Structure 1
Amino acid sequence: MKKKWLALFSTAFLSVSVLAACGGSDGATTENADNTGVSEEAVTLKLAENQPEDYPTTLGAKEFARLVEEKTEGRYKIEVYAGGQLGDEKSVIEQLQLGTIDLTRVNAIPLSEFSSDIGVVAMPYLFEDEDEKWEILNGEIGQDLLGTFEGSRLVGLSFYDSGVRSFYNTKRPVTTPDDLAGLQIRVQQSDLAIDIINSLGASATPMEYGEVYSALQTGVIDGAENNFPSYFTSNHYEVAKYFTVNGYQGVPEVLLGSEKLWNELSAEDQEVFREAALESVAVQREAWANLVDEAQKAVLENGSELVEIDDITPWREAVQPVYDKYGEQFSEWIDRINSY
């Protein structure tokens, strides 16, 4: 959870002509640095990102692009299309599988359709803390988990930070699972999400995200759960001032490549792309940390009460029924994480 904020910049290369290349990419001929006039093909790749230009995942993708260009000495240039220019997550995944887009970043949850194993990252209180989480995700276990997309025409490159989800409500400070008893808590329409909330003693209420503010305001629900920046940007802090910082779930984002692109890369370039993806994580995570700090400062200034949880043992014990129900399908990964 210790993160570093780095300045991002990109290096431009002189394009002379555009040629057809691999995947959804374009080839451009560039002169060698020694100005001998001998030219070589530089390949321009497309990376789809549905968040704005200054969002942490976009900044991570731009750093990945910069590193790839640097490490390949300009043979590959990645253009990041932010703000959903190339489509929503579902359509982008489909385009990635077809090879009409080369790279993208999406949340791990929709990817469970293509890798049943990836769903393990949605289990509650899976990691001891954020330090352990990122050591695991950036290490051998994480790389093995990214390898489970085989056969889906997708290639997992690295995980990006999407924060941790916690609870907030309109009624009272919540310090233990017992304090959630009787509260109606909004969740996403997911069996796992519903079971987690119910196991903690609250009543799960599936609801569209856009309806949450008015539902909190009118008392239709008592609370919800999300990460800190979303609590702020949705303005939910205006009507639900009690925020319990217990990070019960932290589903990461995934940086992906298309199988079509991957098969056209040399083994050496595949290694370069993986290295660049992993190295870009530090920039992306620091950008996320900065966003969290800004959101926390803003909501505190507006009267929110943050309830810090030092011991999550009672919370872990409360969600044991969730592990009893879903744990078997993820047993290999849970055992490896617990043995780390």
Structure 2
Amino acid sequence: MNKILKFSIAAALVAGTAQAQELRGWNTHVPDYPVSIALDRFVEMVEERTDGRIQMQNYHGATLGEGEFATEQLQFGALDYGVFSTAPMVNTVKELGVTSLPYVFKDPEHQYRVLEGPIGEDIAAAMGEANMVPLSWFASGSRSFYANAPLNSVEDIAGKKFRVQNSDINVAMVEALGANATPLPFGEVYTSIQSGVVDGAENNWPSYESTGHFEVAPYYIIDNHTIVPEGIIFAKTTWDKFSPEDQAIVRAAAQEAAIYQRELWAARETKSREIVEAAGVTIVEGIDTTTFAEKMGPVYEQFASDPVVADLLKRIQATE
């Protein structure tokens, strides 16, 4: 799709949003997913606390388009808000690249401390230049590999075809492990594994379970290679229309929704793992991820050589 056509679609969607006088929110997950439940809570809080001045409608299950397309629409202002992964934004906002680097975060709590502190403020400023305003960060889980054949070590990753999000960093990470990276929309992963287009993918427990991917890729190796940020993000063109008072209300609601989502997420992770274990999935854990991390040199060299990104990386590594 060329840029002119994309812009035309975006303009049409913007016009439709204005006529409806209702903000449209995107989300890729099914309605009963922790992200979706928390996003619904967010909308309820905002509408109640603004006495209905701000009306919003969530569209779950990627009904407004798959991730990459939806991210572009947010940047155009054709979508008003939603819960977005930052992975597809890396190619537009270079500062976000550091958050998708393999093994950059020690654990989810470390990620929150980074994103909710001075480093996060600098990243948010860079996102603003691309018409995006992050308000809060959700739990997104640690991502690991799964496939239709046994995965016991880094050697088993090599040679296989893995679906990745459409991010240059993710492609480079998989290729550094000796595998073939295939960017695909999230909604196409199940049939792509089933038909042999790819051998597997990489994701967290709830995504692996809720999509049924474990049915076609029953081998899961816990390497926790990335903890990719995901959160409530507004189009800046929409955000700037709010009064300062309403901005404060919306931001506070987004942060409360994030705390709620993290609680739901912890419970869902446990439940999802129990479901796939009961289904007979082979889970390999306790591996030495050093063998994985040692292969990431080319990835860091390629994506952390920019002075701005390199500085952010040093600051993240220095954050306790």
Smaller-chain TM-score bracket: 0.7 to 0.9
* Other-structure match for 2:132: 154
* In 2: Cα distance, 1:78 partner to 1:236 partner: 32
Residue 243 of structure 1 contacts residue 304 of structure 1 at CA under 8 Å; is this kept in 2?
Answer: yes
Residues 166-206 of structure 1, C-alpha deviations (whole Å, 9 max, x = no match)? 122454452x43x4365424133654334322333x32252
Structure 1 207/143 Cα, relative in aligned 2: closer, same or farther at 3 Å?
closer
How do 1:33-52 residues align onto structure 2 when only pairs under 5 Å count?
45-52=23-30
Identical pairs, percent: 31
Name the one with the larger helix percent.
2
* Other-structure match for 1:322: 299
* Other-structure match for 2:40: 62
AA at the equivalent of 1:199: A
* Other-structure match for 1:165: 143
Residues 125-158 of structure 1, C-alpha deviations (whole Å, 9 max, x = no match)? 1101122112222333223312212233332222
- Structure 2 stretches lacking a partner, 5+ long: 1-16
* Other-structure match for 2:179: 203
* In 2: Cα distance, 1:76 partner to 1:149 partner: 23
Residue 143 of structure 2 contacts residue 227 of structure 2 at CA under 8 Å; is this kept in 1?
Answer: yes
* Other-structure match for 1:339: 318
Q: Tell me by how many angstroms 1:260 deviates.
A: 3.0
* In 1: Cα distance, 2:170 partner to 2:128 partner: 27
1:277 correspondence with 2:254: yes
How do 1:6-45 residues align onto structure 2 when only pairs under 5 Å count?
24=18, 45=23
AA at the equivalent of 2:311: E
Residue 25 of structure 1 contacts residue 101 of structure 1 at CA under 8 Å; is this kept in 2?
Answer: no
Residue 150 of structure 2 contacts residue 156 of structure 2 at CA under 8 Å; is this kept in 1?
Answer: no
* In 1: Cα distance, 2:201 partner to 2:75 partner: 35
**SS, match of residue 229 in structure 1:** helix
1:106 correspondence with 2:81: no
Normalised TM-score (structure 2): 0.78
Rg bigger for which structure? Answer: 1
RMSD over equivalenced CA pairs, Å: 3.1
* Other-structure match for 1:263: 240
* In 2: Cα distance, 1:238 partner to 1:94 partner: 32
* In 2: Cα distance, 1:318 partner to 1:264 partner: 46
* In 2: Cα distance, 1:191 partner to 1:261 partner: 29
AA at the equivalent of 2:18: G
Structure 1 311/143 Cα, relative in aligned 2: closer, same or farther at 3 Å?
farther
Residues 95-141 of structure 1, C-alpha deviations (whole Å, 9 max, x = no match)? 54565643222221222344222222221011011221122223332
* Other-structure match for 2:11: none
* Other-structure match for 2:203: 226
Normalised TM-score (structure 1): 0.74
**SS, match of residue 90 in structure 2:** helix
AA at the equivalent of 1:282: I
* In 2: Cα distance, 1:186 partner to 1:308 partner: 19
How do 1:71-220 residues align onto structure 2 when only pairs under 5 Å count?
71-72=49-50, 74-89=52-67, 92-93=70-71, 96=74, 99=77, 101-174=79-152, 176-177=153-154, 179-180=155-156, 182-188=158-164, 190-200=167-177, 202-206=178-182, 208=184, 209=189, 210-215=191-196
Q: Tell me by how many angstroms 1:337 deviates.
A: 0.6
Structure 1 128/45 Cα, relative in aligned 2: closer, same or farther at 3 Å?
same
- Structure 1 stretches lacking a partner, 5+ long: 1-22, 28-43
Residue 49 of structure 1 contacts residue 58 of structure 1 at CA under 8 Å; is this kept in 2?
Answer: yes
Structure 1 326/71 Cα, relative in aligned 2: closer, same or farther at 3 Å?
same
Residues 254-273 of structure 1, C-alpha deviations (whole Å, 9 max, x = no match)? 32223233223232332332
Residue 91 of structure 2 contacts residue 168 of structure 2 at CA under 8 Å; is this kept in 1?
Answer: no
AA at the equivalent of 1:206: T
Structure 1 96/182 Cα, relative in aligned 2: closer, same or farther at 3 Å?
closer
Higher mean alpha-carbon deviation, 84-93 vs 106-115, is at 84-93
Name the one with the larger strand percent.
1
* In 2: Cα distance, 1:203 partner to 1:93 partner: 27
